[in-house]
Amino acid sequence: MSFYPQIASGAIAQFPVRRARQWRAIANQMESGEQILLPDADGGQIGWDLRYVDLSDSEATALTNLFASCSGSYAWFTFIDPMANLFGWSEDLTRSDWQTGLLTTSYGANDPLGTQRATTIVNGQPGAQPLIQSVSMPGDYAACLSAWIRSDVGGNITLGRDNIQSVVAAPPAWTRVYLSVPGIAGATESTFSIALQARQSIDIWGLQVEAQPYPSPYKQTAAARGIYDETYFANDDLTVTSTAPGLSSCAAQLISRV
Amino acid sequence: MASFPTLKTGAVAQYPFDRAVGFQTQAVRFLDGSSQRFRIRAALRKWTLDLDLLDEDELASVVSFFEAQGTAPFAFTDPISGDTAPACVLSANSLIVVMTAEQRAQATVLIEEIA
């Protein structure tokens, strides 16, 4: 399986990123002018216009190698939305996307926005218990797990990606914590976790995973989206402009089937 | 086979220049959203060289190279990778050069691989 490469900073794209979502519907126009539209859910696609400047030789090579291995628009690869929160159901921990183990969760606690969209998680067990979600992101990708947390009694929680963990404080005031590490090299999936210590209780909100090194503003999600397995180069030509020794710029247009 | 001439610096190109690789694919998209794709030809490369501040010797060597070459293929070495494309031609069969002053010339050379 091929994945669209990240640049050395860990980002997938540089600004500006253009994302064009298209829907398809079968339309019948009546003599009266009335229209009957039949949505065609399988026909949707997203067009991406990605422009890069000051790429190093290795970054440009990674892009051109993918283009060559796909023979232009012939073969597909996996593209990860650079603007998406890749967690499914970021505020509904009862969904099957989440593995809560022996943790108990209750939705409706006060959140940093002053609304009641946070979740209280309680670990009543004598040992640490994790909250887990797996994402089809390659282990080689840089990714950032982030969440807003607080705990009335303080203490620490453990953020994890696969087998890499980081202990962070859970203070009484809302704090955004994050973990930015690569996963297991060669893996096609990454598992993100937030582990509570024994008998610990925290409030949590804004769970987010992004394919970039640092967290962006939180985006609430429903069903998991943002990883597009069937993505093509939109064109059969890819032009790389060498702007100076070791520096290049280029533009890539992609189409993802939704 | 003839090779593209180098400038007095020993380089064949100046910054910025474009390198492109092109394929040709035909895609048929079906009602269920899936598609079937056919590869029509394999990868062929293109280069766009904007040569500036050429002196008259350098300009003459570029012009005379293409005068001698005509539409016949020549070898071109990619300035970045060092790979030699053995069969290239001048794209669109035209070469535009401009003299802006004494010892100051510009040439835009579009080269494409044909096999």
- Interval A179-225: pLDDT, tens: 999 999 999 999 999 999 999 999 999 999 999 999 998 999 999 99
Report the pLDDT value the prediction gives residue A110, as an integer from 0 to 100: 96
> Is B11 near chain A, with CB under 8 Å?
no
Cβ–Cβ of A71/B21 closer than 8 Å?
Answer: no
SS3 state of residue B63: helix
pTM confidence score? 0.85
**Contacts for A135 with CB less than 8 Å, ≥ 6 apart:** A86, A87, A143, A189, A190, A191, A192, A209, A224, A227
Cβ–Cβ of B42/A43 closer than 8 Å?
Answer: no
Quick check: B93 pLDDT over 80? no
> Is B28 near chain A, with CB under 8 Å?
no
Which residue stretches of chain A have pLDDT < 70?
none
Distance CA A49, CA A41 (A): 23
Q: How far is A182 from chain B (nearest CA, A)?
A: 30
Closest Cα partner for A83 from A211, A224, A181? A211
A-interface mutation test, from B18, B23, B36, B111, most A Cβ less than 10 A away = B23
- Compute CA distances B99 → B53, B94, B105, whole Å: 9, 17, 4
Report the pLDDT value the prediction gives residue A178, as an integer from 0 to 100: 97
CB pairs under 8 A between A and B: 75
Cβ–Cβ of B25/A68 closer than 8 Å?
Answer: no
Closest chain B residue to A70, measured at CA: B23
Report the pLDDT value the prediction gives residue B66, as an integer from 0 to 100: 86
- Band the pLDDT of B100: cuts 50, 70, 90: confident
Three-class SS of A163-210:
CEEEEEECCCCCEEEEEEEECCCCCCCEEEEEEECCCCEEEEEEEEEE
A-interface mutation test, from B14, B15, B17, B19, most A Cβ less than 10 A away = B19
Report the pLDDT value the prediction gives residue B3, as an integer from 0 to 100: 85
Closest chain B residue to A68, measured at CA: B43
Rounded to two decimals, the ipTM of the complex is 0.72
Average pLDDT, chain B: 89
Closest chain A residue to B15, measured at CA: A243
**Chain A residues closer than 8 Å to B20 by CB:** 237-240
Report the pLDDT value the prediction gives residue B70, as an integer from 0 to 100: 81
Q: What are phi and psi of B57, to 5 degrees?
A: -65, -45
Closest Cα partner for A142 from A217, A57, A210, A193? A210
Cβ–Cβ of A257/B33 closer than 8 Å?
Answer: yes
Q: Are A127 and A198 in contact (CB under 8 A)?
A: yes
